[in-house]
Structures are given as structure tokens and as C-alpha cells.
Amino acid sequence: MVELHGAHGYLITEFFSRHANKRTDAYGGSLYKRMKFGLEVIEAVRNQVGKDYPLGIRISGTDYDEKGITLDESIAFAKELANELQERGYEVYVAGDCVEIGTIYEAIHAGHLTGRQI
């Protein structure tokens, strides 16, 4: 299995976090633009390893900063990632950080991430 580390200040998180990402191009600003880099990375890796190879991504649940990643944004990112890749016929595995895993787990059971693996 390949698991990409997109949490805890690693590069994917730097693009995703409003706190770190001050870009004004196609990779900064709106939530979708900030998700773009992570979506492109996991799709590029998926294309290299193939459809049947296990691939996952670890994301942060929150930055614990009002200007950073919120839990709602992380849920939106996980849903968008899962939807984009499942549309292409890929299975997806998304893991939240250990601090927020309970909250993300609760979000799944509330129907926000139905059918996703955490």
C-alpha cells in the first residue's frame, strides 16, 4: 500500500490550509482551489501505481487555528477526493489524524462521509 502524508504541515496540507496558503493563483483562495494540489497529487500517484494498487492519503482534521483548516473543510476535502476518484472507478482510503479521528468517525456516522474508510 502507498499512503500519502497530507497532514501535519506536510506539502499537501500547506496548500490546503488557509493559514499557510497565501497563493492567489489556481491553488489558493477558495476551498476547491486549495484542495486542487492534493487532488492532483493523489490522481497522479494513482495513475502510476494502477487502479488495483492500494492507495491512501492521510489528512489533518483541523489546524486548531481560526485561520487554518477546519473540520468542515477536511470533511469536504475527503468527500471531494473520494467522489473525484470513485468517478474514475478507483477505490479510495482517507485517514484523518489521530487527534480528530473520533470527530471524523462521528461525521461518517452522521452521514457526512457515508461509505468512506477512515
Separation of alpha carbons 37 and 28, rounded Å: 10
- Three cell numbers at 66? 481560526
Angle at 72 between CA 69 and CA 77, to 5 degrees: 75
Q: Give the tens place of pLDDT for each residue, 78-117.
A: 888 777 777 777 665 665 543 333 444 455 555 554 444 4
Tell whether the model's pLDDT for residue 52 goes beyond 70: yes
Predicted TM-score (pTM) of the model is 0.71
Q: Catalytic residue numbers?
A: 10
The per-residue pLDDT for range 86-96, each reduced to its tens digit, is 777 766 566 55
CA pair distance 83, 66, nearest whole angstrom = 27
Q: For residue 53, give the DSSP letter.
A: S
- What are the residues facing 95 on neighbouring strands? 58
